Structure 1
Amino acid sequence: MSLNFDNTRIREHMLDGQFGLEKESLRVTFDGHLAHTKHPFGSDPHMERDFCENQTELITGVCDSIDAVWKEMAGLHKKAVKILFHLESGREFLWPFSNPPYVKGEEDIPIASYHGILKGKERYRRYLAEKYGKKKMLFSGIHFNYSFPESILKEGYRESNASTFRQYKDQIYMELAKKITRYSWLLVYLTAASPVLDGSFFEDDARGKTIIRDYGSARCSEIGYWNDFVPLLDYKNLETYVSSIEEYIEQGQLKEAAELYYPVRLKPAGENSLNHLREKGVNHIELRVFDLNPLSPVGIMKEDLQFIHLFLLYLMSLEDREFESFEQMMAIKNEKRAARYEERRIWIETGWSTSMPVRDAALHVLFGMEQFFQKFGGAYYRDVMEYQKRKLIHPEYRYVVAVREEYQKEYVEQGLELARRYAEGIDEERI
């Protein structure tokens, strides 16, 4: 059920769509410790809390282009930083890294507090703290939300054998979810930006000791945000997909669907629940593998957002195929491998007993993308692809290389100085 990009109507609208971003960042004090003030952004629905009281989540609205969603996130980030810069209780900053700064211990991490009908949110967070530990929940990142334009979906449905538009739409997103998961290693490899940690993440008494291990993205590595088992999902159709998640909940392996720590999620419009997904169908897809990039004041490069969008389009040009259990396990293994720092240690499994070095595997995919987009012409596609190819051809352009080189001595102190510079630049209206 792949999209037919030879269809003129589909091709005309391929750069359209609906886009949204969610960005998590920790609030820190002037000396690099976790802030213990209450959430300072009131009831603004675009500035929420995630796991803990000091983990701010900035949430854009639904935008109709990459430029628009990046601009909105930049505006939200600027607003949040200015508020923190002028707090009466004392100046705070948004920590620019996915990995946390100084952590004095589990008691230093205040779980987000809720009251009344929202008390269940707090109870769920306490469950997560008990099961996974609070420190792991401090990892912060960016989620990319996307939905195809209705014009493309309706044209695709017209060419398909699906009995209803709802069935076609659900299957398109199911197919995309499989393909994203299969290739999540590539997105991690190209955007990883968290190779350095403070020692307090591992041991309470190691605070202030910069830790360098073989991580490019700690949060996507084996020490990061993962369930304690590999979920195997049934992608036959939406009903079997939902049922396969419900089975893990019934068996007690998951508390609820939100505990499914997977590279991608299928989401309905409105309330995000399995019942709603089953009843209303898929509205959009959420990619969850992206680190905060400290090399950008906003936390992510627009060029990477452009690439993610093109990558999703390219995936939908590929032939659909089954996603067997062993392939799902292989995909998760590949993502964790791609989260390493040392390229020579990253081998991507491509099938039974076959693998190749990550750079070769990545160049192979990017070559396929180039071939696909060449037929559409235009400098936009070429420029987006060249930006990513440069990371592969010249490894020093990988974000992890630049971040590790810059912050390998005094991670928290240098990171705090970066946060200050970004905040002062915003306060002086320089961005």
Structure 2
Amino acid sequence: MSDQLQRSLDALADPDSTHLLAGIQRGIEKESLRLNEEGKLAQTPHTRGLGSALTHDFITTDYSEALLEFITPVDTNIQSGLETLADIHTFTYQKLDDETLWCASMPCIVNGDEGIPVAEYGSSNVATMKKVYRLGLGHRYGRIMQTIAGIHYNFSMPEAFWDKCWEADGRQGERQDYITERYLGLIRNFKRHSWLLIYLFGASPAVCASFLRGNTDHDLQPFDGDARSLHMPYGTSLRMGDLGYNSSAQKDLTVCYNSLDRYVTTLRSAIMQPHADYAEFPSGQDGNYEQLNDSLLQIENEFYSPIRPKRVARSGETPLGALRRGGIEYIEVRCVDVNPFTPLGLDGEQIRFLDTFLLYCLLADSPDCDEADLARQTANMQAVVTRGREPGLNLQAAEGEQALTAMGQSLLQAMKPVAKLLDAANHESGYCNAVLDQRAKIDDPELTPSARILREMREKDLPFFRLAMAYSQEWAQHFRRRQLSTETQARFNDETQRSLTAQAELEAATDTESFTDYLNQFYDQYNHL
């Protein structure tokens, strides 16, 4: 155990400090495709019964009109956060008629790019910007990639925790700079160890053949005789590999988390400098917008990363501008697959493990990254995505190759004291149990969700689509039977109406400014970062 980790654990073991860990702040963003009765991607518009996708606090859409995104408010209690997510599902099912929410990360039956409607947000400038950004993504990467769903897990430590840490470290420098540096350390460690999350929770080892129709540039194998499903025999999370949220154009974009200034400068350059491959798509010529710009990145969100530093932006402010203004406020974990075996796509045990993992990454030594470190991270992620359950698989470590099983068990062993502190802070034993359950997955890969998916496909003689459809229908019945309290029902009804009114007000205000002027003012902010 490192000296820094031991010092941190000793400090937090003090009775006056342990309780601070009960204040971890979490938020969940969960995506789900809407399906019609045949199990195909819904072609219907976002229902008015769910309010405005532009302004609703809890229910929006991501790339496609059919890709719902559910957002929970920041919460310090795991159970109440999950209850809120369940309430959002329940309310949504009240409005879906005969449609169903898809329960997996890799999509249902899709009919090529032409069968994937891009999300609509109205006629305001901010709505137009969201639509044009998505049109640009479709041109650059294909619309079909944008139907892949995931879960984003937002995590931050309470202010009182930072007060204690800053004080213990001698109050050196500005408090917010100290917090930012600690979160950057968390991110660097996360990047080193995130392969473990992919192994433990990856749940996308197979895809419906319709996802790859016309695409032969892959290494997937037919799962069944008539190739209705394709898979990687030892794969864990195809969503995190070359089929998913990766971009060949971004392969040479080296984003460094050694300093906030370096991070902001690198992404700003990618947003401001034209990229020849994208010049063919209109970006405002004669008023025609098929993308926001012709740079490597249209905006920061286009950078595909398993983790992001975040700060809540002010109205109209760029994400990079928010970070430059106030430093890192929280981090967003983006590598979590939707688990088809749970109604919500994740559960309390997984959240407890994520908290333990992230707190370990925060407390442990985190040296700056160099090129060799980045190369190991890339190699390990690729190996675990495609071959994570392969017997005898070795990963890259600074000391040379090591067995995945040995590296995994070593990491889990190092996390045990962190789990004990979290249990003590929350007066429970769930954190230690969550770590123990993950140790069993290291010992037996068949316990992982990715292995279970392939096993059930084989045992039930079902292609991926049929297996995921069966679970989707099971969870649909679960939420259709579930009742909301009177207060919760009223809260969602009120938010639906409020969001519609807010969208109408935005559209009325847009009459005074052209979209081109709006976009120019937005991008001008990057000149002053």
- The TM-score with structure 1 as length reference comes to 0.92
Offset of 1:208 from its aligned partner? Answer: 7.9
Distance in 2 (CA, whole Å) between partners of 1:430 and 1:274 is 41
Question: Which is worse superposed, 197-206 or 153-162?
Answer: 197-206
Shift of 1:230: 4.7
Secondary structure in 1 aligned to 2:230? strand
Higher relative contact order (CA 8 A, sep 6+): 2
| Aligned residue in 1 for 2:124 | 116
C-alpha offsets along residues 290-345 of structure 1, whole Å, 9 cap, x if unaligned? Answer: 00000001111221111000111112221121111331232133222211254237
Change (3 A) 1:223 1:346: farther
Task: Please tell me whether the aligned partners of residues 269 and 282 of structure 1 are also in contact (alpha carbons under 8 angstroms).
Answer: no
2:229 to 191, 210, 220: 210
Aligned residue runs from structure 1 range 325-364, under 5 A: 325-341=371-387, 342-344=389-391, 346-351=393-398, 354-364=400-410
Distance 2:214 2:93 in 1: 29
Quote the residue 1:173 is aligned against.
183
- Cα displacement (A) at 1:124: 0.7
Which residue of the other structure, out of 95, 103, 106, is the alignment partner of 2:102? 95
Partner of 2:210: 200
In 2, Cα distance between equivalents of 1:56 and 1:204 = 27
2:471 maps to 1:418:
yes
Which structure 2 residues correspond to residues 27-426 of structure 1 after superposition, within 5 A? Answer: 27-40=34-47, 41-43=50-52, 44-84=56-96, 87=97, 91-114=98-121, 115-117=123-125, 118-161=127-170, 162-203=172-213, 209-214=228-233, 215-228=235-248, 229-251=251-273, 252-271=295-314, 273-341=319-387, 342-344=389-391, 346-351=393-398, 354-373=400-419, 379-408=429-458, 409-426=462-479
Call closer, same or farther: CA 1:68–1:197 in 2, change over 3 Å: same
What's the offset of the Cα at 1:201? 0.9
> SS of the counterpart of 2:8?
coil
Counterparts in 2 of 1:406 and 1:430: CA distance versus 1, 3 Å: farther
Q: State the shift of 1:373 in Å.
A: 4.3
Q: In the alignment, is the contact (CA less than 8 A) between 2:179 and 2:328 conserved in 1?
A: yes
Secondary structure of the corresponding residue to residue 191 of structure 2: helix
TM-superposed CA distance for 1:99, in Å, is 0.5
Distance 1:45 1:12, change over 3 A: closer
CA distance in 1, matches of 2:244, 2:140: 14
- For the pair 1:26 / 2:39, whether they are aligned, the reply is no
Would you say the 8 A contact 1:230–1:329 is kept in 2? no
SS of the aligned residue for 1:316 comes to: helix
**8 Å CA contact 1:232, 1:325 repeated in 2:** no
Q: What's the offset of the Cα at 1:284?
A: 0.6
**Alignment-mate amino acid for residue 246 of structure 1:** R
Report the structure number with the largest CA radius of gyration: 2
How much has 1:142 moved relative to structure 2? Answer: 0.2
Alignment deviations for residues 174-201 of structure 1 (CA, whole Å, 9 cap, x no partner):
1111111111111111100111211111
Distance 1:306 1:10 in 2: 19
Q: Distance in 1 between matches of 2:179 and 2:212?
A: 44
Identify which range, 317-326 or 255-264, moves more after superposition: 317-326
The amino acid that maps onto 1:286 is E
Aligned residues of 1:4 and 1:10 also touching (Cα < 8 A): no
Report how far residue 403 of structure 1 moved. Answer: 1.1
Q: Which has the higher helix share?
A: 2
- Residue in structure 2 matched with residue 5 of structure 1 by the alignment: 9
CA distance in 2, matches of 1:199, 1:107: 17
- Structure 1 residue 392 displacement after superposition: 1.6
Secondary structure of the residue that 1:78 maps to in structure 2? helix
Distance 1:230 1:185, change over 3 A: farther
Letter in 1 for 2:204: S
User: Is this contact kept in 1: 2:352–2:430, CA < 8 A?
Assistant: no
Aligned mates of 2:186, 2:252 — CA distance in 1: 20
State whether residues 189 and 339 of structure 1, in contact with CA within 8 Å, keep that contact through their aligned partners in structure 2.
yes
Using a 3 Å threshold, how does the CA distance of structure 1 residues 5 and 322 change in structure 2: closer, same or farther? Answer: same
TM-superposition CA deviations, 1:119-161 (whole Å, max 9, x none) = 0111111111111111111110000001101111011111225
Counterpart AA for 2:8? N
User: Once the 2 structures are TM-superposed, how far is the Cα of residue 74 of structure 1 from its aligned partner?
Assistant: 1.9
CA contact (8 A) 1:269 1:280 kept: no
Aligned AA (2:152): H
Q: Which moved more, 1:75-84 or 1:40-49?
A: 75-84
Identical amino acids, percent of aligned pairs: 26
TM-score normalised by length of structure 2: 0.76
| 1:339 aligned counterpart, secondary structure | helix
Shift of 1:15: 3.2
Structure 2, unmatched stretches of 5+, are: 216-221, 274-294, 485-529
Instruction: Tell me by how many angstroms 1:282 deviates.
Output: 1.1
- Write the distance in 2 (CA, Å) between the matches of 1:397 and 1:122: 41
Moved more, 360-369 or 228-237: 228-237
Pick closer, same or farther for the CA change 1:383–1:39 going to 2, 3 Å. Answer: same
CA distance in 2, matches of 1:236, 1:292: 30
Contact 2:349 2:431 in 1 (8 A): no
- Runs of 4+ in structure 1 over 4 Å off: 204-208, 371-378
The one-letter code sitting in structure 2 at the alignment partner of 1:6 is: D
Q: CA deviation at 1:346?
A: 4.1
Residue 341 of structure 2 contacts residue 471 of structure 2 at CA under 8 Å; is this kept in 1?
no
**Partner AA of 2:229 in structure 1:** T
Q: Deviations over 1:361-381 (max 9, x none)?
A: 111100111255457766333
User: Are 2:90 and 2:482, in contact at CA under 8 Å, matched by a contact in 1?
Assistant: no
**Residue aligned with 2:410, SS:** helix
Comparing 340-349 with 285-294, greater Cα deviation is found at: 340-349
Change (3 A) 1:120 1:157: same
Quick one: which amino acid aligns to residue 133 of structure 2?
Y
Distance in 2 between residues matched to 1:185 and 1:15, nearest whole Å: 27
CA distance in structure 2 between the aligned counterparts of 1:423 and 1:196, rounded to whole angstroms? 22
Structure 2 CA distance for aligned equivalents of residues 140 and 171 of structure 1: 31
Q: Which amino acid aligns with 1:381?
A: Y
Distance apart, 1:39 and its partner CA: 0.9
What is the deviation of 1:173?
1.0
Higher alpha-carbon deviation: 238-247 or 277-286: 238-247
